């Protein structure tokens, strides 16, 4: 008498069955795509042979011309300002990381240069340089500087540095005014660095003074 496992169920089907199932699932969309591509090529060849343009080419060309003109600059300025404000005043725990990943992947796809390993190497090197050589067990505990000091970006408060860079990018990249954008960034960042040297938390002090001005005047 042999004992059989009554509840023994295999969740992994045989490899040949899974491959056939995948091929069947991919076969129909692939066939539809090929038929659609053949239909488009046939229509394009017919239109070219007839010597007349499609009826929708005129409106699409006008939309393309308008997007390449001043509308493109306005859209670029809006995108730059919205992204900068989200980075400066928003939560940077998850969205910032996703945005940085998108930027790194875009640069890698367009330029063929991997920025992420370089940035990680720089971060690790900076962490090694800022960390002490040895710790005595039980007497010294490593503490990150951001817990005791305000976070600065290029010597300026992070929020103000991002906002200033966003405004300069909107002027330089969006409006194609390179010199005013560079001058605006240099002047704004220099003022922010000077204010941070006087008081690293001058932005918080200024915001508190504006918010509670009647109480502080008394």
Residue 127 belongs to a domain: yes
Residue 107 belongs to a domain: yes
Residue 84 belongs to a domain: yes
Closest to 100 (Cα-Cα) out of 77, 72, 123, 75? 123
Residue 111 belongs to a domain: yes
Q: What percent of the chain has pLDDT over 90?
A: 0
Interval 33-92: pLDDT, tens = 667 777 766 666 655 555 555 666 676 667 666 666 666 667 666 766 666 666 666 555
What does the pLDDT read at residue 1? 47
Interval 182-200: pLDDT, tens = 888 888 888 888 877 777 7
In the DSSP assignment, the letter for residue 214 is H
Burial class (CB in 10 A: 0-12, 13-18, 19+), 197: exposed
Residue 203 belongs to a domain: yes
Domain of 119?
Answer: 71-132+151-217
Interval 110-159: pLDDT, tens = 444 454 555 555 445 445 544 555 555 555 555 555 555 566 666 777 77
Quote the radius of gyration of the chain (alpha carbons, Å): 29
Residue 94 belongs to a domain: yes
Residue 171 belongs to a domain: yes
Residue 193 belongs to a domain: yes
The structure's pTM equals: 0.40
Chain mean position to CA 214: 41
Q: How many domains does the chain have?
A: 1
């Amino acid at each position: 008498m042999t004992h059989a496992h009554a509840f023994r169920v295999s969740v992994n089907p045989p490899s040949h069955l899974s491959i056939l199932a995948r091929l069947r699932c991919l076969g129909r969309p692939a066939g539809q795509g090929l038929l659609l591509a053949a239909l488009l090529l046939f229509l394009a060849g017919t239109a070219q042979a007839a010597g007349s343009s499609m009826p929708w080419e005129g409106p699409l060309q006008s939309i393309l011309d308008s997007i390449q003109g001043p509308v493109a600059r306005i859209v670029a300025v809006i995108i730059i300002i919205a992204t900068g404000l989200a980075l400066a005043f928003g939560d940077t725990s998850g969205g910032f990381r996703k945005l940085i990943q998108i930027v790194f992947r875009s640069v890698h796809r367009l330029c063929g240069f991997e920025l992420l390993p370089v940035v990680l190497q720089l971060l690790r090197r900076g962490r090694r340089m800022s960390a002490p050589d040895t710790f005595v067990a039980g007497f010294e505990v490593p503490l990150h500087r951001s817990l005791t000091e305000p976070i600065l970006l290029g010597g300026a408060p992070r929020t103000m540095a991002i906002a200033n860079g966003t405004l300069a990018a909107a002027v330089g990249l969006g409006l194609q005014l390179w010199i005013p954008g560079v001058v605006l960034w240099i002047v704004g960042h220099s003022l922010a660095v000077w204010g941070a040297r006087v008081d690293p938390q001058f932005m918080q002090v200024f915001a508190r003074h504006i918010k509670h001005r009647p109480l502080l005047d008394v």
